[in-house]
Structure formats: C-alpha cells, structure tokens
A and B are shown apart, each in its own frame.
Chain A
Amino acid sequence: MHIHLLDQYHTGRSPVHRLDARVKLLLTLAFILVASLTPAGAWPAYLGLALLALGVTLAAGLPPLLVQRRALVALPFALAALTVLFTTEGRPLFTLSLGAWHLTASEPGLIRFLSILLKSWLAIQAAILLAATTPFPTLVVAMRALHFPRLLVAIIAFMGRYLFVLADEALRLHRAREARSAVIGPGSGGSIAWRARVTGGMVGNLFLRSVERSERIYNAMLARGYRGELRTLSPPRLRPADGVLGLLFVTLLALIALLGW
C-alpha cells in the first residue's frame, strides 16, 4: 500500500525537467516575487505572468487542466481577503444587505481583491510547476548546493524519505480503528472528546513507531560508517543550457515587471 496519490512529480524529459534544480528554485522564487510586487490592477503584467506560466506548463509537457485543478488549493483562503472589497475607499459598486449587515463594495476594493487572488493563483502555478518537474531528491540536492542550513536540509531529506512510509502506517492505524468501530455501528464511537483522545492514542502510537524506526535507521547509518558527520557528494555542475534558459526567463520576468510598474 503506497500513497502515490500525493506525489506531485510528473516524469518527463522536457527542458523544464532537465533545467538545474537550483536555477529552477531561484526562478520560481523570482516569478513569485514579481507577482507579489506587481501593483493592484496592473492587468497587463498579470496577463504576461499567466502566459509565462502557461508557456512553461506546455514546455514541460504538463496538462494545463491538471495544473489549474491543483491551483485551486489556495482558493478557500480567498475568504480572508474578502473584506478588502468593502473596506477600501472609493467609488461604491454595490451594497449587500444581509439583515443587520450593510456592506458596500468599492471599485478599488474589487480591484485589490482580484489582484490578491491573481497573485496567489500565479504564485501557486509556479510552485506547482517546480514540484511537478523536479523530483524531491533533486530539490534536496539543490537546497544543499544553495547553502541552506545543512542540518535543516538533512532533516528535510529524511522527512521526504519517510513521509510516505509513515503516512502508510498512519493509514493502517486509521483503517484498524475504522474496522473496530464498525462493529459497534455507524454513528457511535463515543463523544467528540473520546474520539479525539482515541485519535491521540493513534498519534502516540505512531510517535513510538517513529522513534523506534529512527533508532533502527541510526543503527543502519552506523553500520555504514556514519560517525556523526553527514557527507554528501558534490552537486552536479551547471550546464551552459541552464545559464541560457535562466537568463531568458529572467529577461521575460523583467519585461513583465516593467509592464506592471
């Protein structure tokens, strides 16, 4: 039983897949930065960024619809920005009357609201493209090469390796509970507090399994010569193609940014 469902990576041999992960990570951040700095209402710049994201999606051979579907994950958060509709001063657009609520939306409010949603939608596409074209281990190597704190990168590497192993174990515990509670009948299973505590028991159980596993892993590391210092191979060299593609992308971003300001 494996949880592949959550795996975002799509195998491929496109130029986007082959682009060095360091470059890809930095370009992703640059893209999101430009999106975040673009002023509200600078529609041409948003359009430019959207086209750029679409271009990369196609170049990577990813189905655009799939990317768009995943891009919806941040949508619920839009609620948090809803208030700007009504709290930004400017030409009133419409008034909502819900009982005691009288809310008037303004035009600048609407522009800000839409801009926030656009920024978030664009940024998340960039993040999806990064995850979908870069295997996790490669991302770890890139973080190490970019001199992220060594200890943190090592923790993240182990986390990536054991994420699915432990998720499988969690799922097994969950199934075992479901199987048992089915005996009592649907809808039963005690009070919410009791259920929460039972879930807590599973969490505790999972914690112990994790600690024990980490002890076995530590032994396996010792057995292969680990003496407290993690060594890794040096990262791959940057190819000329990485530089060219990187520069091209940065130039496009700069042009789009100019559109916005």
Chain B
Amino acid sequence: MEYAIELENVRFAYHDGRPALRGVSLRIAPGEKVALVGPNGAGKSTLLLHLNGILAGQGRVRILGQEVNGANLGWIRAQVGLVFQDPDDQLFSPTVFEDVAFGPLHMGLPEAEVRERVAWALAQVGMDAFADRISHHLSQGEKKRVAIATVLAMKPEVLALDEPTAGLDPRARRGLLRLLARLPQTMLVATHDMRLVAELFPRTVVLDAGQVVADGPTGHLLTDEALLEAHGLESPYLSPLP
C-alpha cells in the first residue's frame, strides 16, 4: 500500500547537537486525519518540518510514495501544505492576496490560474472578502484561516498544521474546527488542544522527547490516564483540578 506520509527511523539534531528527533517511524494512509500531541519541546514542529524537506536528518521520509530528496523538493512542497505555528511567520507578504498567490506563483503557474486559485482558496476558508487587506490588520482567527488558504491554493494532497487553534477565542476556534472537518486532505496536525483532538481526529500519535511513545485510536489514548500523565497531557474529559 502507498502511504500519504511515511517516516522511517527519522533522526535529527539542531546545530547545538541535542537530538530533537530520535528515530521516529510513522505511517499515515491517504485521507487519514491524525493528531500529533506531546509536551513542549517534544519535537512536533521539528517533525512537521521534515515532511517537505525543510529539515532533513537521517532516515527516510516518503510522501505519496516518493522519497523526499534534493531533486524533487518542488514537487514535494506542492504536495505537502505546511502551515506554521505563528501566522505572522506564515503571512509574510504585504496583502492577503499576495500571500495566497505566493505558493501558486512559485509553483510556476500562469497568472490567470494563480488568480483563480487565490479566489478559490480564500473562498474555501471563508475569507474571500479579505483579499486586499493588509495581513497585519487581521485578527488572530482571520490570520489562521488565511494561513491555511495560503497552502490550499497550492492544492496539496497532505496538510501539515502546527497548532492551528492556538490563541483563538472560542468562536474562532469553532469556525476553524468546522473548516478542518470539511477539508478532504490527509492531515497531520500538531496541537496542545486536546478537545480538538477528541472532536476531529480518529487517530492520535503521542511524541515525547523525540520519540513516538503511543500511536492509536484517539478514544483509547485519551482514556489511558497513565499514558497521559506520563507525557504531560490532559484528557479533555477530565474535571477541573481538585
């Protein structure tokens, strides 16, 4: 079977030499929606950056059956839509329109199609009216939506999202949740939002200290208190502190 995402014993250390990923293996089937949870510093963001070759350590990363290497980066990056944690990093262009157009333009698409895709992607996230706005002037929730549109415009097969609900108020969070539920892509979503995990993802991967410590149906994992406790996680069903 061909997996949408396949990691085989991926190891990675930043410049300072401390390992951030210590042999991660993971297989995600096409269309699957998977949550990636774990404490701060577990390596979630680092792992997502491996999916399209921005970081490359030892081990293998395959996307839709293709091994990520220097030669096919252009193709890989069009297949994996990576949305960064801070929308102020993701939205680096002066206007919303230019930001959403950035991906399609750098895929080498002709201008007419670029414009079409921008309109389509903004409509997907319900931000069509915001094309000419300055990114800085958007609310946090609007920024998160536009950030997703910037990768949707590239029509990726895989979405890799880093903490999509961080910093959102309940209403914006709800809206984003609905949006994520509607999108058909294969998804790997790093998050601390355990309610999001419970509501949206059938499968959950727990990462701690650069290693996969659990991988299975969300329902099972979230009721395994010993596991949650051991890795600094909280069940969304738990009552408030005693």
Contact = CB atoms under 8 A, between A and B. Distances in A.
Direct contact of A and B (CB under 8 A): yes
Interface string B141-176: 000000000110010000000000000000000000
Contact of B136 (A164, A226, A234): A164
A223 interface: yes
A216 interface: yes
Q: Is the interface of A mostly helix, strand, loop or mixed?
A: helix
B45 to A, nearest CB: 10
Interface in A121-143: 135-137, 140
Interface of A: 2, 4, 135-137, 140, 157-158, 160-162, 164-165, 213, 216-217, 219-227, 231-234
A223 B79 CA distance: 10
A161 B77 contact: no
Interface stretch (B20-28, B100-108, B200-208): B100-108
Interface of B: 49, 52, 54, 74, 77-78, 80, 82, 84, 86, 88-95, 98, 101-103, 105-107, 111, 114-115, 134-137, 150-151, 154
Contacts of B111: 233-234
Contacts of A213: 88-89
Given A233-B105, A233-B114, A222 B136 contact: no
Contacts of B107: 225
A158 B93 CA distance: 7
A227 B74 contact: yes
Contacts of B78: 225
Given A216-B84, A222-B77, A223-B77, A231 B92 contact: no
Given A137-B95, A161-B135, 11 more contacts: A4-B137, A160-B94, A216-B86, A219-B54, A220-B82, A220-B84, A225-B107, A232-B105, A233-B105, A233-B111, A233-B114
Contacts of B93: 157, 161
Q: Give the interface centre of A162, A224, A232 by most chain B CB atoms within 10 Å.
A: A224
21 contacts: A2-B136, A135-B134, A140-B94, A157-B93, A157-B94, A161-B135, A162-B88, A162-B92, A216-B86, A217-B89, A219-B49, A220-B84, A223-B52, A223-B54, A223-B80, A224-B103, A224-B150, A225-B77, A225-B106, A225-B107, A234-B111
A217 B84 CA distance: 9
A220 B92 contact: yes
A202 B57 CA distance: 35
B84 to A, nearest CB: 5
A157 B80 CA distance: 27
Nearest to A213: B89
A137 B135 CA distance: 10
Nearest to A137: B94
Contacts of A136: 94, 134
B65 to A, nearest CB: 20
Contacts of B106: 224-227, 231
